[in-house]
Amino acid sequence: MNEKEMLKKMKEDFRKLKTEEEREKFVKGSGNRLDKMTDEEMERLTDAVEADLKEMKVRVDEILVREKMEAILPMISVSYLAKHYFGKSSSWLYQRINGNKVHGKPAKFTTQELERLRYALKEISQSIAGIVL
């Protein structure tokens, strides 16, 4: 079993535990396994953990985008936002906001697209704030 598979199995096993006592026993057993690993195995496991953490951060960021935009979506023109700032359709933007599956994979924003979305929302906000009635 490679390090990625081992990490996945450890996470699955840990999720199944019900009591704090079971979790403590699991952690001790995991520590014993880690102590027996070679430096090379430990390095590969560390790489697998780092990759897993990056993937979780991406998923958390996507959830936060959806949650943050939920309150303002009824107030703004998603069609305008999509066309003006991204050159895309409103469907394209909604797919990324909602994480809809496209070609079998969840649609998501790239880092550059998230920056563009931040910029767009700030620019719209400033435009609204500049209106004096």
Each residue's pLDDT expressed in tens, for the chain with a length of 133 residues = 677 787 778 888 888 888 988 888 888 888 777 788 888 888 888 888 887 777 766 666 666 778 888 888 888 999 999 999 999 999 999 999 888 889 998 888 888 998 999 999 999 999 988 887 7
Provide the whole-model pTM: 0.54
The residue whose two tokens read 């998923």 is 59
- Tokens coding 28: 């001790």
CB distance 7 to 52 below 8 Å:
yes
Determine whether 66 is exposed, middle or buried from the number of CB atoms within 10 Å of its CB (0-12, 13-18, 19+).
middle
